[in-house]
Amino acid sequence: MAMLQFLIAVDVTVVNVALPSIGADFGVDGRQLTWVVVGYTITGGGLLMLGGRLGDVLGRRRILLLGTAVFGSASLLAGLAPSFPLLVAARLLQGAGEAIALPTAMAVIVLMFPEGPRRTRALSVWAAVASCGLVLGFVLSGVITELFGWRWIFLTSVPFILVVLPAVALLVPADPPVKRTPLDLPGSLLLTAAPLLFALGVVEAGEEDGTLPWLPPAILSGAVIAGILFVMVERHTANPLVPLRFFRNRPRVLANLATALLSAALSTSFLLFTYYLQDRLALGPLEAGLAMLPLAVSLVAASVFVPQLLGRWGAQVCALAGIGFTVLAMAALALAAHLEADAPAMIPAMLLIAAGMGFGLVGLQYAAVTGATENDAGIASGVQRAADQLGGSTGIALYVGIGFAPASTGTVPFLTTSLLAIAGLAAAGMVVRRIALPASRSEEPAG
């Protein structure tokens, strides 16, 4: 399970440093390259809750094998893709594989290890492996791209998947008889379609040539319609993906909204670092990967240090601190780009991003599950994870799509994109200030 989690976590960040090489091979610009990141995270986030339900309804080992096989097959397809559209399609399929496999993998861990020290140890390993995967993705991307070519950032997953599949078959207990209940397939498809259409509309709006003037507004209208239909489906289906009673809990709703806004800025910053180091400073993939080491190391430090402060400061203060650090990071990034500074000038922004991610997401995750019980803890966790992934991918599509429009040249894209992210963070700060958490909960030490 940890190996699968590691591969999926690596895949979130491993493409970042490889993006310019992919763009050079296929002749696509930075705006279109966002699809390599966005396609994966949108399908992963949009189908995440359906993936969790599939394990409950159809059997966890069966669904875990299916999701892992889909992820591995999509990795092979991405590595061999002869064209950019096929690469994007493979990334969409990878996201679907993640959404099917990951929630079921965590459920298997929870059920295999009884409550107490054994489960705590197992979940600690799970969380540590995820953090290491995200961090190593930045470094591995540069090393693999430089030495072997960008295709191997996908192909190296395949041998590990071939280890995970038989291990699951041998080590995960067979599925007991399960009670078949209807799945909310329309809700899952609409939840995925809305952000995908939004991202497509933003990209099409930035095209200089070959775009019909009515097409971007039509696509964006489709995104809005899909969102409205999702709410309507959830109101009337017998087994909703997200029961509407979830939205009656004001702190959770606000925490998830703030999570989406913060993740939009954090995910955007990762792309800006990559574009600046490789496109503006002309660093090679290996040099760019090594230049990202301060970000990787500080992310590990934040994941260890911040949970210890959560119990002392409270979730709301941690979240506000994280948003503040991220605002400073985007400002530092924009200033370094404006001055056309060398790579070391990016280190302050990287350290601030790590602090923003550590304080902000940990605080908001805690707020998002406040008051959760056995009946809705899974829903609360799933919605929070979906808000994180969908917020990040939508932010990339919007901020980078507008900032890197063809009319933008020089350092303007970095300035525009950073300012848009700062505006979103200001909104997140106002949302967090309206979160009212019970004093007793916000003062508890983190689990």
Distance CA 374, CA 361 (A): 23
Q: Are residues 57 and 104 in the same domain?
A: yes
Inside any domain, residue 402: yes
86 and 158 assigned to the same domain: yes
Rounded to a whole number, what is the distance in angstroms from the first to the last CA of the chain? 22
Same domain (yes/no): 302, 418: yes
Q: Are residues 164 and 212 in the same domain?
A: no
pTM: 0.78
147 plus 265 within the same structural domain:
no
| Residue 177 located in a structural domain | no
Q: Which of 148, 171, 194 is the last residue of a domain?
A: 171
In this structure, the answer to whether residues 39 and 101 fall within a common structural domain is yes
- Residues 230, 252 share a domain: no
Sort 124 into a burial class: Cβ within 10 Å, 0-12 / 13-18 / 19+.
exposed
In a shared domain, residues 351 and 444: yes
Nearest alpha carbon to residue 105 among 129, 136, 74, 137: 129
Phi, psi (deg, nearest 5) at residue 411:
-90, 0
179 part of a folded domain: no
Separation CA 416–CA 337 (nearest Å): 11
Q: What is the pLDDT along the chain (447 residues), one digit of tens a residue?
A: 888 888 887 877 778 778 888 988 998 877 778 788 888 888 887 887 788 777 777 777 888 899 999 999 999 999 999 999 999 999 999 989 988 888 788 777 767 776 667 766 676 677 667 767 776 777 778 888 888 889 998 998 898 899 889 988 888 878 777 666 677 788 888 888 888 888 778 777 766 555 567 777 888 899 899 989 988 888 888 778 777 777 778 888 899 999 999 999 998 998 899 888 888 888 888 888 888 888 878 877 877 777 777 777 888 888 999 999 999 999 999 999 888 889 899 999 999 998 998 888 888 877 887 666 555 656 776 787 788 888 888 888 888 888 887 655 556 888 999 999 999 999 999 999 988 765 544 344 333
Q: Is residue 400 part of a domain?
A: yes
∠ CA(199), CA(202), CA(205), 5° rounding?
A: 150
Q: Tokens for 28?
A: 């696509």
End residue of a domain, out of 118, 142, 171: 171
* Structural domain includes residue 303: yes
Q: What are phi and psi of 265, to 5 degrees?
A: -70, -45
Contact 295, 358 (CB under 8 A): no
Q: Which amino acid is at 231?
A: V
Q: What is the token pair recorded at 170?
A: 């041998």
What does the alpha-carbon distance between residue 261 and residue 308 come to, in Å, rounded to a whole number? 24
* 296 and 432 part of one domain: yes
DSSP 26-57: HT--HHHHHHHHHHHHHHHHHTHHHHHHHHHH
Beta carbons within 8 Å of 178's beta carbon, 6+ residues apart: 56, 57, 58, 59
Q: Is residue 178 part of a domain?
A: no
Q: Count Cβ atoms below 10 Å from residue 96 Cβ, excluding itself.
A: 22
Looking at the structure, do residues 10 and 75 belong to the same domain, yes or no?
A: yes
**Which residue segment(s) compose the domain that 161 sits in?**
1-171
Residue pair 379/243 in contact by the 8 Å Cβ criterion: yes
Residues 338-357 as b/e (b if ≥16 CB within 10 A, e otherwise) read eeeeebebbbbbbbbbbbbb
One domain for residues 281 and 354: yes
CB neighbourhood size of 224 (10 A): 13
User: Structural domain tally of the chain?
Assistant: 3
15 and 40 co-located in one domain: yes
Cβ contact 333:357 at 8 Å = no
